[in-house]
Amino acid sequence: MERKNKILIVDDAEDTVELLKKRFRAEGYDTAEAYNGEEALATVPAYEPDLIVLDVMMPKMDGYEVCRRLKGDEKTRYIPIVMLTAKGEVEHKIKGLDIGADDYMAKPFDYKELAARVRSLLSIKATHEKKVEEEKSGALEQMMDQVAHEIRNPLTSIGGFARKVYSRLSEDDPNRKYMQYIIEDVAVLEGMIKQLIELKTMAISIKEPSDINSVVMDSLSVFAQDFAQKAIEVKTDLVKDPPPIQADKKLLKRAFCNIIKNAIEAMEREGRTLTVRSRVNGNNLEVQFSDTGIGIAKEKIKNIFDPMVTSKVYGPGLGLTFALKIIQDHRGTISVESEEGRGTTFTIRFPLNSQGSA
Domain ranges of the chain: 6-109, 133-201, 208-354
Instruction: Look over the chain and give the mean of its residue pLDDT values, rounded to a whole number.
Output: 85
pLDDT for res 358 = 38
* Tens-place pLDDT, residues 203-224: 566 889 999 999 999 999 999 9
Nearest 5°: CA angle at 264, between 231 and 2?
A: 120
Q: What length does the chain have?
A: 358
Sign (positive/negative) of CA torsion 327, 328, 331, 334?
A: positive
Q: 108 pLDDT band (50/70/90 cuts)?
A: confident
pLDDT for res 315 = 38
Decide if domain 6-109 falls under CATH 3.40.50.2300: yes
Q: Which residue type, as a one-letter code, is found at position 143?
A: M
Closest CA to 119 of 17, 15, 29: 29
Q: 322 pLDDT band (50/70/90 cuts)?
A: confident
Average pLDDT over residues 10-20: 92
Burial of 174 (0-12, 13-18, 19+ CB in 10 A): exposed
Give yes or no for residue 354 having a pLDDT over 70. no
Average pLDDT over residues 226-243: 94
Give yes or no for residue 296 having a pLDDT over 90. no
Q: What is the DSSP letter of 109?
A: -
Average pLDDT over residues 68-77: 91
Helices and strands per DSSP (H, E), number in the chain: 10, 12
pLDDT for res 355 = 45
pLDDT for res 198 = 66
pLDDT for res 190 = 81
pLDDT for res 90 = 58
pLDDT for res 96 = 66
Fold exhibited by the domain 208-354:
Heat Shock Protein 90 (3.30.565)
Sequence-distant (≥ 6) Cβ neighbours of residue 162 within 8 angstroms: 179, 182, 183, 186
pLDDT for res 88 = 59
Give yes or no for residue 316 having a pLDDT over 50. no
CA atoms of 342 and 229, how far apart (whole Å): 22
* Tens-place pLDDT, residues 128-153: 877 777 676 666 667 667 767 778 78
* CA 249 distance to own-chain centroid: 23
Q: What is the DSSP letter of 40?
A: H
Average pLDDT over residues 62-69: 92
Q: 194 pLDDT band (50/70/90 cuts)?
A: confident
pLDDT for res 234 = 96
Give yes or no for residue 312 having a pLDDT over 50. no
